[in-house]
Each structure stands twice: as structure tokens, then as C-alpha cells.
Chains A and B, each alone.
Chain A
Amino acid sequence: MTGTHLLTVLTFLPAVGATALFLLKREDLVWTRRLALTIALAEFGLSLLLPFGFHAGTAEYQFVEFRAWMQSPVINYHLGVDGISLYLVLLTTFLTPLALLASWRGITERVRSFFVMMLVLETGIIGVFVALDLFLFFLFWEVMLVPMYFIIGIWGHERRIYAAIKFVLFTMAGSILMLVAILWLYRLTGTFDLPVIQQLLVDGAVVMPARAEMLLFGAFFLAFAIKVPLFPLHTWLPDAHVEAPTAGSVILAGVLLKMGTYGMLRFCLPLFPEASRALAPYIAVLAIIGVIYGALVAMVQPDLKKLIAYSSVSHLGFVVLGIFAFNVISIQGAVYQMLSHGVSTGALFLVAGMLYDRRHTHLISEFGGLATPMPTLAALYLFVCLSSLGLPMLNGFVGEFLILLGTWEHNARWAAWAATGVILSALYLLWSYQRVFFGQLTQERNRTLPDASLRERVMLFTMAAVILWMGVASPMFTRQIAASSEQVLKHMNRPQGYLAGPSKNHGRGVWPYAPTTGIVKSSAAGPGGSK
């Protein structure tokens, strides 16, 4: 146990800082914005301590904090990060200041409440990623809904109320069953503490009946699949994205969706390996449908934001596929794809928001030839599009490549189908780019639109720098992700005799869930070699 309270500080700094906003006058918009941004930047600065203090070679939880909280049932305040959650925390702290900057001009009503909600949201999200107690995890998971609900519902566009309620009801429907499952797990193991439960299961001290495991897996998976969202549970996503303000979309696509895939990696696979294996083929099929369907639907969207929303469905399908290929490379790829999708899609939404600030519409048909009045924005948007469609040397490529590589080893057919998604994503992104920025100016009123302002340039250049850096320096990240990815697969191995359950081998050879370290090394070198 390390003696730092870094994670507590990181978790609660935004929420506590948000209360400071109440000290300002309600009308004092300038300082409200500045103070909120300062808090978010301070948070980001603090979070940078994490990767530097992080030991890469181990899968142990680090920066652990532990305190007893409730006695009956025993609930502990247990925080910690490993390679999987480390960069998700960083992604959150990185995107939040950008999201605040994006709402600098766009939010004009109830400004203070908005920034308070954004900061509280950040607390909730970080809490989800660092909680190691199932109960604590659930607590943050639910609490985070409230600020997001208000952000969509108050500051969103026309159909915001419908979208906000749909978002909350979908998420709650999943999470309440997860709560039941958490309690059931408590009954089986006598604790909410994730590492302890994990150890009990790995040691075989607690043996889960096959039916119970299947039901528990189902309850957890449903909650996460809704969040991801996995086809066919994705219908809330386009509504929420289109109606949310820019900052809401950035956080929603950038981080919130990852809570679902994070949950699958953290809970579904290690806690319920048999059920995961048994259902993996079906889940993979859904993921592949999501990849292709999301891309096809994105292609025909007249609305830029909806297009990006469906592209998220497609990209997150990749992540789910990578996770359920049970291969250390594909899992590393999945984690990496979560991060790079957060950055790329966040940037895409930022640009969509900038266009909206200028024209108050997201309809692609309203634009056209925008490269003439705004060359800088056009160039930066192209860069972001290329990263999202997976151009080598940019971040999107690394994740997709690793996922496809790992999935291929596991099941070549899955990989082949999913690879079509790569092509399709190039199609819809470039086509939409062409319709928005290239060609003649279709509308005269667009001729006078201003190019990116200093604030917008700062935001997009920061994004571009990270995109490039993640593309070329990927081993820096994968090194820290590797051990934990391997650990997930190790935890899927149960003592002998336990495996005699309903595990089916689907006739496709050996499950590669016990990788050698050699594979890890080669995977770390793989993307580096693509330089």
C-alpha cells in the first residue's frame, strides 16, 4: 500500500472545486469560466503524476487507498489503478478542460450550473475508473448519471428532454440489474472487494455454480453493453449525442462509453470466465454487426453529429470484439482503441460543435466548400478524420491493428468481417469531409464564417499533438497496459476441475488465453515497428 492520497484527491478535486464556483457572483461569467477551467487544468496536472509514479511491469493495483466505510454489509473505500484504468483516468482529465473550453461561448444560460455539472461529472467518471469496491463502483456509476442528465436536458438542443430521459432510463435499466448481481456476488463471496473476490475465485475458494455465473454475467454484461453501446442496445446514443451540447458529446463519446468496455474488462471476463467463453461467439457477432451497421448508418446520416455518433457505435464494436477475442494482443488493442477513440471522437465532436457555434446547425447539407473561408479548421478536421479512420502513424491505427491482429489469431473470420469496418470508416468520414469542406461554397452565407479562433486552435492543436504522439509513441502506453491485459486473461484460468463446467470449445482450436510473455513483447514492438 502506498501512502499517497492521490486518487482521492483526483476523484474529489473537481466536485469540491465546483463548490468554489458558488462563491462567485451568478452574473460573473468570465471568472466562472476561468475558475472552472483552472480547476480542470489543475486536475489534469495532478493526474500527470499517475503515469510517472506507475510501475509498468506489474499487474498489481497501484496508488491503492483503503478505508473501512460501512459495516453491514461491509463496504470499503478502496481505490486503485492498474494499466487498464490508468490511462482512462488520464483521458478523463485531459478531455474535461477541452470540453470546458468548448463551452466557452456556446453556453450562455445558467453558466455556473453548467460548469458545476461538468466538474461533478468528472468526479463521477474518475470514481468509476478507480473504485475497487463493487459497491463504490456502482455508486459512482449511478451518481454520474445525474450531471449528465442535466447537461443533456438543460443545455441540449430541441429534443433534449426526450434524449435525456432516454439516456437515463436505458442506463438505469441495465444498472439496476447489475446492482442485483453485485448483491448476489456478495452473497456468494461475502465481500464487495474486487481484488478479494478475484482471489477467491482464482484460488477456487469460491466456486460459482454454472447457472449463477451465467445469470451474473448476463446482468453485468447487459449494463455494460447498454453503456458501450453494443448493437442492438445503441438506440439511445444517437439521440443523446445529437441533443447534447458539444461538451456533453465530447465527454459522452470520449469517456462515458468507455465505462462500458472498461466494465467488461474489469468484471465480466475475470469474474465470469466460463460464461464469457460460452457467450463470446454471440457477443462477437453482435460486435461485428455493430461495426458494420454503425458504419453503414453513419454513411447515410444527413446530420454531422449523428454521423459521428454512429461512428462511435462502429468503433466501440471493435473494442468489444477485441475484448471477447481473449487474446492478450487484442485486449491491449481494445484498451488502446478506447483511449484513441476518446481523443479522436472527442476532437470530431469539438469540430462539429465549432461549426454549430457558427451556423447553429449540424446538417451537412448546410455546409459545403468550407475550406475556403476556414482553411485552418479544415486542415485540422482532416487530420482528426484521418486519425479516426485509422491512418498509420496516427492513434486510431494502433488500436485497430492490434485488435485485428489479436482477433485473427483467435478467429480469422471475425477479423475478416471486422476489417471491412476499417474500409467503411474511411468511406463515411472522407465522404462527409468532402461534402462539408471541399468543393464550391454552396451557400453564400457561409462565405463570411470566421476561421478557427485562438481558443479553438489551442484546443484542436492540443488534440492533434496527442493524436500524433499516440500514433508514434504507442509503446509508451502499451508497456503500461500490457501487464494488466495479461492479468485479465490469467484470471480467466480457474483451478482444475472447475473447467469441467459447460465450457465449449466451439471446434476452432485452442483458446489462446494463456499467452507467453513473448507475445506481449512482440505486440509492444509491433506498433513501434510501424513507424
Chain B
Amino acid sequence: MFPPLEDVYRLAPELIWSLTGILLMLVDPFVAKPRKRWMGGLALIGATFGLAATIFPYWHMGAAYSGLLRIDAFSVFLHLIVGGVAVLVVLGSSDYLGRESLPPGEFYALVLFATTGMGILASAQELVTAFVGLEISSIASYVLASFRREHVRSNESALKYFLLGSFATAFFLYGVAMVYGATGTTQLAAMDWSKANSPLLTLGLGMIFIGLGFKVAAAPFQMWTPDVYEGAPTPVTAMLSSAPKAAAFALLVRVFSLVFARETSAGASLAWIYVFWIAAALTMCVGNLGAMVQSSVKRMLAYSSIAHAGYILVAIAAVSSAGEAGEAIGIAAVLFYLASYALMKLGAFVLVTYVGGTGERRLEIDDYAGLGTERPLAAAFLSIYLLSLLGLPVTAGFLGKLYVFRAALDSNLIWLVVLMAVNSIIGAYYYLRVIVVMYMRPAQQEWPPQPMPAGIALVLLLTAAGTIYLGLFPNHVIAFATQSATSLR
């Protein structure tokens, strides 16, 4: 039985990604070693077409596969993020794979599979489908994290990620089972929220929150993040820190916006706001305080990504206590933040890949001394990303924060906003420290000539341009994010 053509269109990006992945696996054994780098070209074509194919779901919105998926502007927005990340990761890793002599075919295939899973996660309207998407993306990520298999750190990273990740998905699945038990369905749209104010449902939702909280690195489920980000090959870290987070946040918003809506309409006690309030506050503080004391760039960026997850949780907390109009502002803030965050974080990690050099040797912050004079271009790019992460005006990071502030103020979460402001200042300290080292300390070691590979240069250019563009002309993106937010209804 073949699904209706409409449904195929709605799944077009995922189909292209997964088919390209399979094709890469099949072709791989037949390609001679010196030609392996062409695999990157194939993967790039697949990833780009997958991203471009997002236009099909955009044209054919609606429920697909008997309501397993729901294609709306929200899912299209997230497809653009994860698809864009896939393209940039493929572009940015080809040089790395050659340098570290890692097998490119499998690497690209796994990247595309992970992207497929995230795509499904972003549009899942049914919890078991969401679980399938989560697993597809997670398992591919576990393997990717261990890709430098001769290195202890990479193995440690993968093992930790795998063990803790399995726990988290188990939590998620258990939660799904409980929600099913309480409401009699796993279809989000069909759930009868009104009658099901039971402890079982609350417990189930709590478990789903824990599972997704792990994926987005929300405190207190963030323990794995620094180790995994540090040990994984840097291009993989670039991906892990951006796309899966966006996809997991998507599901979190999809599930909990319904829960919030039920709570508001039933006039029930807004219990969930406390959960999100505390999670957001804790995540911000843990991330920022942790990042302050790091000496490794990768670990510092890992902690900073925890902090940013906290900022996004502030926006979700704002959704939880806002009315219907406020809800759109909050979700739009989440989406805009995810997009800008993916750009700057990905750019930063790709730059770390470049500076790291063969064998990823330069990873300490002190190793960056003299970058400003020896590699002025790289230092300038990194400054843009860091200033954006810091939240300086004219960058995407600033507007992201601004929208979150606005949403939170609209929901009267004044203390959370103040806490976030204080956290931003702590953030300023450690981001500026890297800039200090780059520009104001003399070089500690030799900087052998190291031409910038075209792929990495292109990624840096795109992400930096995107960061500035979103910071100056956010109109279209924020309009689309608002449209996406309202499309959830």
C-alpha cells in the first residue's frame, strides 16, 4: 500500500536525507580510497536538496500518515534549522575527516540519518512517532560521538552519551506509556485533556519532560554535556550542540503548549510554570557558573550551550503563564532563539575545528593566544560568534535575548528576567576572556601556516553573515516564527 502523494510531499526532506544516507552507505565500498572525498560532494548534494525540499511540506501543510505527523509552519521552521545545520556540518567536516583520516562515507550517512530523525521529531504529532524520531537521531549521534575510535576521549564521550541517553529515552518512553494510560491515546491532538487530570498523566508528562530535558541539556539533566561535547569530534559537537537541541525543544514546545493551554482554559493551578521556572533558573546558573571555570574551549562552549538552553527555557516558562496572544510571542521567541543559537554555536565549533589543527591539539583557551595577530580572519569570526553568544546588539544573539526578555516580561516573570540578565553578565565574563586571550596575549607557540579550507571558510562566512543578518534585519524570520507559533493551534 502506497501512501497518498500528498503525504510523500510532506515527508520529502526526510526521504531525501535518508535515501542519500543509504546511497552513501551502498556506494562507499565501491569507491577507491583516494576518491572518498567525493562522498562529501554527494552528501552535500543530498543535504542541500533535503533542505530545499522543505518547500514541499511548506506547500502541503496538514496532517500526514493518518495523523502521525503534522506538517505546519512550526515544523517547516525547524526543518529549515536542522536541514541548514546538516548542510553546514557536511561542508565543515570534509577537511576534518581527511585530516584525521576518518571514513567519510559512514560519517556523512550518519549525519543525514540523524537529521532525518530530527526532522521527524520536529513534526511528530504522535508520541510513538516522536520516540522513533528521537531514537533515529540519538543512535546516529552516539555513533558519531565515538567516530574517532582510536581516541580514549571520543570513546568515553560516546559511552557516556549512550548510557545516559538510553536512560533518558527510556524515561521518555515510560512517560509516553503513562500518558497513553491516562488519556487512552498517543495522538497529541486527540488527547482528551479535560477529563484526564490524573496523577498518572502528571507523572507521564513529568517523565517526558525529563527525557527531553536530557536531550536539550537542561539542569539537572545536563551532566553529560561537557564530557560528550569535549570528547566528540569537533564537527560532531558542532552538530550536537545545535540541531538535536532544536528538535528536542520543538517536541517540548509541541507537547507542553497543549498542556499549558489546557491548564489555562481549565483555570487549573499553573503547576508547570514552577517546573519550567526552576529548570530555567537552574540551567542558566549551572551553565554560566560552570563555563566560568573551564580552561578548554570546547568545554566552555559546552557549558555555554547549557546556559543558552536555560534562556530558551525562560521563553517556554513565559509561554506557560501567558494567554493565547502571549503564547505566540513566547513560542516565536523560542524559535528565533533556536535559529540564531544554531548559527552562532555551529560557527564557533567549526572554527574550533579549524584552529584545533591535526589531532585536535589546540583546544585550551590559552592555546588561542596570538590568534588575533597570527590568524586575524579566524579571530574576527570567533569574535563575532562570541559577541553574539554574549548578546551584544547588532547580532542575532542580542535579538534572541530581547525576544525572550519581552516574552517573559509579558508573562510577568520579572525575577526570572532579572536572573537571566545577571546570567548574561556572567556570560560576558567568560566570552570576553577568550577574546582577551586571542587579541591581548602574545602567541605562546608556533603557528605554522594553515590555509583555511574552502568548506570551512564557506561555513564561517554563512554563519557569521547569518548572525549579523538576523541581528539587523530580523523582520522576515520573526514574522515566520510568529506564524509558526500560531500554526501550532
| Residues of A near any B CB (own CB < 8 A) | 70-73, 110, 138-140, 142-143, 145-146, 149-150, 153-154, 160-161, 164-165, 168-169, 172-173, 176-177, 179-180, 183-184, 186-187
Contact = CB atoms under 8 A, between A and B. Distances in A.
Interface stretch (B74-82, B204-212, B301-309, B472-480): B472-480
Contacts of B406: 73, 183, 186-187
B436 A183 contact: no
14 contacts: A70-B478, A72-B475, A72-B482, A143-B394, A150-B439, A169-B425, A169-B428, A176-B422, A179-B402, A180-B409, A180-B417, A180-B418, A183-B409, A187-B409
Given A73-B406, A172-B424, 14 more contacts: A70-B473, A71-B475, A72-B475, A72-B478, A139-B393, A140-B393, A142-B392, A153-B436, A154-B440, A168-B432, A173-B425, A176-B422, A177-B418, A177-B421
Nearest to A73: B406
Contacts of A70: 473-475, 478
Contacts of A187: 406, 409-410
A159 to B, nearest CB: 12
Contacts of B373: 110
A153 B479 CA distance: 40
Contacts of A142: 392-393, 398
A439 B76 CA distance: 80
A172 B436 CA distance: 17
B158 to A, nearest CB: 37
A179 B405 contact: yes
B392 A143 contact: yes
A239 B394 CA distance: 28
A186 B409 CA distance: 10
Interface residues of B, number: 30
Contacts of B424: 172, 176
A157 to B, nearest CB: 12
Contacts of A153: 436, 439-440
The 8 closest A-B pairs by CB, nearest first: A139-B393, A176-B421, A142-B393, A153-B440, A173-B425, A183-B405, A172-B428, A71-B475
B409 A149 contact: no
A165 B405 contact: no
Contact of B432 (A72, A154, A165, A186): A165
B429 interface: yes
A168 B386 CA distance: 15
Nearest to A177: B421
Contact of B440 (A139, A161, A176, A186): A161
A72 B402 CA distance: 11
B425 A176 contact: yes
B387 interface: yes
Contacts of B425: 169, 172-173, 176
Interface string B4-32: 00000000000000000000000000000
Contacts of B429: 165, 169
A459 B440 CA distance: 30
A149 B432 contact: yes
Contacts, number: 74
Nearest to A215: B414
Contacts of A168: 428, 432
A21 B391 CA distance: 28
A160 B440 contact: yes
Contacts of B398: 142
B152 to A, nearest CB: 35
A154 B439 contact: yes
A184 B406 CA distance: 8
Contact of A165 (B394, B410, B436, B478): B436
Contacts of A161: 436, 440
Contacts of B421: 176-177, 179-180
A55 B393 CA distance: 33
Contacts of B392: 142-143, 145-146
Contacts of A146: 387, 392
**Residue from A138, A176, A179, A183 with most neighbouring chain B CB atoms (10 Å):** A176
A149 B440 CA distance: 11
Contacts of B402: 179, 183
Interface in B229-250: none
Contacts of A184: 409
A379 to B, nearest CB: 38
Contact of B393 (A73, A138, A149): A138
Which of B398, B422, B436, B478 neighbours the largest number of chain A CB atoms within 10 Å of its CB? B436
Interface in B154-212: none
Interface in B395-442: 398, 402, 405-406, 409-410, 417-418, 421-422, 424-425, 428-429, 432-433, 436, 439-440
Contacts of A165: 429, 432-433, 436
A214 B433 CA distance: 35
Contacts of A169: 425, 428-429
Contact of A139 (B394, B433, B474, B475): B394
Nearest to B332: A72
Contacts of B387: 146
Interface in B449-489: 473-475, 478-479, 482
A200 to B, nearest CB: 18
Contacts of B418: 177, 180
A501 B482 CA distance: 39
Contacts of A183: 402, 405-406, 409
Interface string B131-144: 00000000000000
A212 to B, nearest CB: 10
A138 B421 CA distance: 15
A383 B435 CA distance: 41
Contact of A143 (B393, B422, B433): B393
Contacts of A73: 406
Interface string B325-366: 000000000000000000000000000000000000000000
Nearest to B424: A176
B478 to A, nearest CB: 5
A183 B428 CA distance: 21
Contacts of B475: 70-72
B396 to A, nearest CB: 13
Nearest to B394: A143
Contacts of A145: 392
A180 to B, nearest CB: 6
A180 B406 CA distance: 8
Contacts of B439: 150, 153-154
A73 B418 CA distance: 20
Contacts of A71: 475, 478-479
Contacts of B482: 72
* Of A71, A72, A139, A153, most B-chain CB atoms within 10 Å: A72
A140 B422 CA distance: 21
Nearest to A109: B373
A142 B397 CA distance: 13
A150 B372 CA distance: 12
Contacts of A176: 421-422, 424-425
A110 to B, nearest CB: 7
B370 to A, nearest CB: 12
A180 B474 contact: no
A176 B398 CA distance: 11
Contacts of B405: 179-180, 183
Nearest to A138: B393
A295 to B, nearest CB: 31
Nearest to A186: B406
Nearest to B373: A110
Contacts of A139: 393-394
B434 to A, nearest CB: 12
Contacts of B474: 70
Contacts of B410: 187
A159 B406 CA distance: 39
A160 B440 CA distance: 9
Contacts of A180: 405, 409, 417-418, 421
Nearest to B471: A139
Contacts of A164: 436, 440
